[in-house]
Amino acid sequence: MSWCELPGYWLGLEVLERYGCRMADGLVITMQLVAISSLLGFFLAVGLALLRLRGPRPVRWAIAGYTTFFRGTPLLCQLFLIYYGLGTFRLFWQDVGLWWFFRDPLYCCLLAFTINTAAYQAEILRGSLQALPKGQIEAARALGMRPVAIFIKVEMPQALIIGLRPLGNELITMIKVSAIASLVTLFDLMGATRLAFARSFDLSIYLVAALIYLALVEIVRRIWNQMEARLTRHMVLR
Amino acid sequence: MTTKRAFLAAMLAAAAFVPGTASAQAITEIKIGTEGAYPPYNNLNAKKELEGFEIDYMNDLCARMKVKCTWVVQDWDGIIPALLSKKYDVIVAGMNATPERAKRVDFTDVYTSTPIAMVGAKSITSTNISPDALKGKTLGAQGSTIHMNYLEAYYKGSTLRPYPTQEEANLDLLNGRLDYIVADLEALESFLKDKGKDCCKIIAEVKRDAAIHGPGVGMALRKGEDALKAMINKAIAESKADGSLDKHAMKWLGKKAIQ
């Protein structure tokens, strides 16, 4: 008996014992999807937020359009547009040598999730950067700091204090909405659960899946508490 | 005891759906669940009307049984759970009476038996569809179906993809993401006559595996609804005897219902 059958065995839940390994594989895919897309999305969002605030006017407008579109339309719709919509242009993708990317549902999901979360994270960061008092930057300039150093050492640490909780909320949202990956044939945690349910018709497997998602969210919440304590350690009253 | 309980259950079912008018013996109204996305068996047409072999056939049976029938459209993934939670009383949706499903629901007598086939690109010349020959290929089927179960059971060396509906699997074959799809032959034929005309063809028929595919297509009911089951079985038997089952099958499937 392998380790992933044990939880079901201990709980005396036959369906979890039979599909425990599929659920474990699914959990790995869900975590990969969320971790990679959120991280890539964050780096993208830093650039987008900066350009949105300080770029040339047409770039600012373009980014405003991008965030409006991706925050204003359902993620499922975006995913289907990428997976089925872009998927119809196979000959074009083969010509440009990108078919391997659009053929794979995992990559399509990563692309959809990344550009979606980047839009949200960019707006969070833009708001956080705008909330900083002007005096901070002026003081840093008066000290002779260069713009890049000001951004990394003065602005970002303070913007992250403001933006940390909303960014955490965005990550939690991503964990939950990643379940739609199962609709484009991926066996993520939800996909594995649907398979187990379709075979056993035992509803308790959905409860197990819900508890696993809940545990993931709880872990993120605790990590975020630690990160906030670390980032604000200079502000704690002694 | 069991007949008494079944009788009670039938009474309760009748009472639940026709409040006030339920008589002691007769079932006067049944709700039928179907998918509405599986032509030519059952399909919602452009006018949002149900049409297909099973729709005509079941309406025929309803007239025979002198009951009022109401159709309910339900996604395939939830089609058995919705039966169990009494959203309708019988599933008529091309459902194969597999041993796995029979653990949860009862099946009526088989009214059709569908050949199963694999479809792939026209450029494929080999008709060998053994698991060894398809190693490393990408195979698709509708999720929660006998076809997906069949792939899971035998094609472990291939990449398997489950789709919410058959139409999405067809679309991905068309897009070239899939090398093969497996489904009931008639469903595939109606795809090949339509959107799949230029891209694809039937590669080979899949041999039925009794343990996975079951004996054929039956209607699913909740366990214990023996009065309803007996009534429907009687109507099915009559329709087989007088040729009206085959009449509907000829119209929609172009052949007899049971080969």
CATH number at residue A131: 1.10.3720.10
Sequence-ordered strand ranges (E) for chain B: 29-34, 37-38, 42-44, 50-51, 68-73, 90-91, 105-107, 116-121, 138-142, 159-163, 180-184, 200-206, 220-222
Chain A nearest CA to B222, separation (Å): 13
Does residue B104 share a domain with residue B12? yes
Written as six digits, the tokens of A63 are 């980014």
Tell me which residue range forms the domain holding B75.
2-113+215-253
Give domain status of residue B80, yes or no. yes
Of A84, A105, A199, the CB nearest to B100: A199
Does residue B246 share a domain with residue B193? no
Does residue B43 share a domain with residue B142? no
Chain A residues whose beta carbon lies within 8 Å of the beta carbon of residue B144:
194-195, 198
| Helix (H), strand (E) at residue A6 | helix A6-11
> What is the DSSP annotation of B50-111?
EESHHHHHHHHHHHHHT-EEEEEE--GGGHHHHHHTTS-SEE-SS-B--HHHHTTEEE----
- B69 strand-pairing partners: B30
Give domain status of residue B106, yes or no. yes
Does residue B209 share a domain with residue B219? no
Per-residue pLDDT averaged across B207-229, rounded? 92
Rounded distance between C-alpha atoms, residue B114 and residue B136, angstroms:
28
Give domain status of residue B137, yes or no. yes
Does residue B104 share a domain with residue B71? yes
- Which is nearest to B92 in space by CA: B67, B72, B65? B72
Q: What is the pLDDT of residue B158?
A: 95
Q: What is the pLDDT of residue B2?
A: 52
Per-residue pLDDT averaged across B186-196, rounded? 89
Q: What is the pLDDT of residue B25?
A: 58
Domain containing residue B70: CATH number:
3.40.190.10
Which chain A residue has the Cα nearest residue B178?
A: A103
Q: Return the residue in B83, B91, B177 with the most chain A beta carbons within 10 A, the one to mutate for interface testing.
A: B177
Does residue B198 share a domain with residue B226? no
pLDDT tens digit sequence for B106-118: 999 999 988 899 9
pLDDT greater than 50 at residue B19: no
Per-residue pLDDT band at B4 (split at 50, 70, 90):
low
Q: How many CA atoms lie within 13 A of A35 on its CB side?
A: 8
Give domain status of residue A68, yes or no. yes
Q: What is the pLDDT of residue A51?
A: 96
Does residue B123 share a domain with residue B233? no
Which chain A residue has the Cα nearest residue B84?
A: A201
Give domain status of residue B259, yes or no. no
Q: Give the angle B221-B11-B30 at the CA atoms, nearest 5°.
A: 45
Per-residue pLDDT averaged across B155-171, rounded? 93
Does residue B109 share a domain with residue B25? yes
- Tens-binned pLDDT, residue by residue, of chain A (238 aa): 788 888 888 888 888 998 999 999 999 999 999 999 999 999 999 999 999 999 999 999 999 999 999 999 999 999 999 999 999 999 999 999 999 999 999 999 999 999 999 999 999 999 999 999 999 999 999 999 999 999 999 999 999 999 999 999 999 999 999 999 999 999 999 999 998 988 888 889 999 999 999 999 999 999 999 999 998 888 877 6
Q: Which amino acid is at A225?
A: N
Are the C-beta atoms of B228 and B90 separated by less than 8 Å?
A: yes
Percent of chain B with pLDDT over 70: 90
B115 touches chain A (CB under 8 A): no
Are the C-beta atoms of B76 and B93 separated by less than 8 Å?
A: yes
Q: Which DSSP category does A86 fall into?
A: G
Q: What is the pLDDT of residue B187?
A: 86
- B107 strand-pairing partners: B220
Tell me which residue range forms the domain holding A37.
3-232
Give domain status of residue A211, yes or no. yes
pLDDT greater than 60 at residue B122: yes
Does residue B128 share a domain with residue B48? no
Rounded distance between C-alpha atoms, residue B11 and residue B4, angstroms:
10
Give domain status of residue A59, yes or no. yes
Chain-chain contact of A201 with B162 (C-beta, under 8 angstroms): no
Q: What is the pLDDT of residue B1?
A: 46
Chain B residues whose beta carbon lies within 8 Å of the beta carbon of residue A84:
168, 171-172, 175
pLDDT greater than 90 at residue B50: yes
Per-residue pLDDT band at B7 (split at 50, 70, 90):
low
pLDDT greater than 70 at residue B51: yes
pLDDT greater than 70 at residue B24: no
Per-residue pLDDT averaged across B146-160, rounded? 93
Sign of CA dihedral B13, A202, B77, B147: negative
Per-residue pLDDT averaged across B197-214, rounded? 91
Q: What is the mean pLDDT of chain B?
A: 88
Domains identified in chain B, total number:
2
Give domain status of residue B249, yes or no. yes
Instruction: Assign A128 to helix, strand or coil.
Output: helix
Domains identified in chain A, total number:
1
Give domain status of residue B130, yes or no. yes
Give domain status of residue A88, yes or no. yes
Does residue B121 share a domain with residue B24? no
Rounded distance between C-alpha atoms, residue A130 and residue A113, angstroms:
26
Give domain status of residue A115, yes or no. yes
Does residue B105 share a domain with residue B12? yes
Q: What is the pLDDT of residue B257?
A: 86
pLDDT greater than 90 at residue B190: no
Are the C-beta atoms of B126 and B118 separated by less than 8 Å?
A: no
Give domain status of residue B19, yes or no. yes
Chain B residues whose beta carbon lies within 8 Å of the beta carbon of residue A194:
77, 143-144
Give domain status of residue A168, yes or no. yes
Does residue B127 share a domain with residue B7? no
Q: What is the pLDDT of residue B256?
A: 87
Rounded distance between C-alpha atoms, residue A200 and residue B67, angstroms:
33
Q: What is the pLDDT of residue A101?
A: 94
Q: What is the pLDDT of residue A235?
A: 83
Give domain status of residue A176, yes or no. yes
Give domain status of residue B34, yes or no. yes
Q: What is the pLDDT of residue A238?
A: 62
Specify the length of chain A in residues.
Answer: 238
Rounded distance between C-alpha atoms, residue B257 and residue B239, angstroms:
11
Q: What is the pLDDT of residue B254?
A: 86
Per-residue pLDDT band at B14 (split at 50, 70, 90):
low
Which chain B residue has the Cα nearest residue A88?
A: B175
Give domain status of residue A19, yes or no. yes
Rounded distance between C-alpha atoms, residue B257 and residue B250, angstroms:
8
